[in-house]
Amino acid sequence: MLALLLFPPAVPVPEIGPPASTGNLVNKAIYGSDSRQEHSAMPPEWTSIGDAVAMIYDTQSNRVFDSQGVFQYEQSLRDKHGDCDGTPLRFSDQPTPGRCTATLIAPNKVATAGHCFKPHLCGRLAFAFGATTDAMVRGTPFAADRLYSCGSVEISVSTGGKDWAVVRLDRSVPDSVASPVRVASTEVAIGTPVMSIGHPDGLPRKYAGDAQVKEVMQSGTDAFRFSTNVDAFVGSSGSGVFDIETREMVGILINGNRDYDDKGCAITYPQA
- pLDDT tens digits in sequence order for the chain, 272 residues long: 222 333 343 333 322 233 333 332 233 444 446 678 888 889 999 999 999 999 999 999 779 999 999 999 999 888 776 766 667 777 778 999 999 999 999 999 999 999 999 999 999 999 999 999 999 999 999 999 999 999 999 999 988 778 899 999 999 999 999 999 999 988 999 999 999 999 988 999 999 877 889 888 888 887 788 888 887 766 678 999 999 999 999 999 887 555 555 455 655 544 44
Q: Is 144 exposed, middle or buried (0-12, 13-18, 19+ CB in 10 A)?
A: exposed
The predicted pLDDT at position 259 comes to 52
The predicted pLDDT at position 76 comes to 84
Instruction: Using DSSP bridges, classify how beta strands 30-31 and 268-269 pair: parallel, antiparallel or unpaired.
Output: parallel
H/E element, 77: helix 77-81
The predicted pLDDT at position 260 comes to 53
SS3 track for the chain: CCCCCCCCCCCCCCCCCCCCCCCCCCCCEEECCCCEEEHHHCCHHHHHHHCCEEEEEECCCCCCECCCCEECCCCEHHHHHCCECCECCCCCCCECCCCEEEEEEECCEEEECCCCCCHHHCCCEEEEECCCCCCCCCCCECCHHHEEEEEEEEEEECCCCCCEEEEEECCCCCCCCCCCCCECCCCCCCCCEEEEEECHHHCCCEEEEEEEEEEEECCCCCCCEEEECCCECCCCCCCEEEECCCCCEEEECCCCCCCECCCCCECEECCC
The predicted pLDDT at position 22 comes to 34
What's this model's pTM, rounded to 2 decimal places?
A: 0.82
The predicted pLDDT at position 67 comes to 93
